[in-house]
C-alpha cells in the first residue's frame, strides 16, 4: 500500500472519529470546532502509529514475509478472541457434558426397555409360567397355613373357654358342698 492511499485512509478514519467525538462533546460543552480540530489533528499521528503497529503485526503473522495484508485478518481474529477463550472452553465443556448426559439418559432408557422386554419374554415363556404357578401355589399354601393357625387359635381359645366354664362349675359345686357342710 502506498503512502498516499494510507494517508487518505487514516485521514478519513480520523475525520469520522473527530466528527463523532466533537458532536458528542458539543452536546455537553458547546465547543464543536476546537474539539473537531483537536481530534482530527491528533488522529493523524495516531493513525500512522496504528498503521505501523498493524504492519508489524502483519509481518509477524506472515512470519517475516511482506504480503498484501490478508494474513493479518486471522492473526487479529486470534488476538481478539483471546479474552473470550475461557468462555469458549467453558461452553465446549458444557456442551460435551450435555451430550454425555444425553447419551447416558438414552442408554439408561434403552437398558430399562430391554430389561422390561426380557421380563415380559420370561413371564410369557413356559419356565415363567412354571414360576408363576409355583408362586400361586406358595400363596395358596400360605393362605391355608394362616387359616389353620387361626382355626387352632380359635380352638385353643375355645378350649380355654370350656376349661374356664368347667372350672367355674367346679368352684360352684365346691362352694355348694361347703355350704351344705356348714348347715350340718
Q: How far apart are CA 73 and CA 85, in angstroms?
A: 18
Q: Is 36 inside a domain boundary?
A: yes
Q: What is the pLDDT of residue 115?
A: 94
pTM of the model: 0.31
Domain count, the chain: 1
Where is mean pLDDT largest: 122-131, 148-157, 163-172? 122-131
Question: What are the angstrom distances between the C-alpha of 119 and each of 88, 131, 136, 148?
Answer: 46, 13, 18, 35
Alpha helix positions (H), 30-84: 32-61, 72-81
Between these two residues, 137 and 5, which has the higher pLDDT value? 137
Q: Is 85 inside a domain boundary?
A: no
Determine the structural domain holding residue 63 and report its residue range: 3-70
Q: Is 183 inside a domain boundary?
A: no
Q: Is 80 inside a domain boundary?
A: no
Q: What is the pLDDT of residue 71?
A: 59
| Per-residue model confidence as pLDDT tens digits over 101-114 | 888 888 888 999 99
Whose cell is 437398558? That residue is 111
| Per-residue model confidence as pLDDT tens digits over 58-96 | 666 666 555 555 556 666 666 677 777 788 888 888 889
Q: Is 159 inside a domain boundary?
A: no
Amino acid at each position: 500500500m502506498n503512502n498516499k492511499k494510507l494517508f487518505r485512509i487514516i485521514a478519513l478514519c480520523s475525520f469520522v472519529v473527530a466528527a463523532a467525538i466533537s458532536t458528542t462533546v458539543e452536546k455537553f460543552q458547546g465547543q464543536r470546532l476546537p474539539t473537531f480540530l483537536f481530534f482530527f489533528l491528533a488522529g493523524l499521528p495516531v493513525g500512522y502509529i496504528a498503521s505501523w503497529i498493524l504492519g508489524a503485526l502483519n509481518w509477524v503473522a506472515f512470519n517475516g514475509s511482506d504480503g498484501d495484508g490478508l494474513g493479518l485478518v486471522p492473526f487479529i481474529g486470534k488476538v481478539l478472541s483471546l479474552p473470550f477463550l475461557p468462555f469458549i472452553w467453558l461452553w465446549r465443556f458444557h456442551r460435551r457434558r450435555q451430550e454425555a448426559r444425553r447419551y447416558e439418559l438414552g442408554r439408561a432408557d434403552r437398558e430399562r426397555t430391554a430389561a422390561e422386554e426380557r421380563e415380559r419374554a420370561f413371564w410369557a415363556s413356559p419356565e415363567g409360567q412354571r414360576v408363576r404357578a409355583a408362586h400361586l401355589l406358595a400363596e395358596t399354601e400360605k393362605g391355608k397355613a394362616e387359616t389353620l393357625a387361626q382355626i387352632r387359635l380359635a380352638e385353643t381359645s375355645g378350649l380355654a373357654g370350656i376349661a374356664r366354664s368347667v372350672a367355674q362349675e367346679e368352684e360352684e359345686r365346691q362352694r355348694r358342698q361347703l355350704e351344705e357342710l356348714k348347715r350340718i
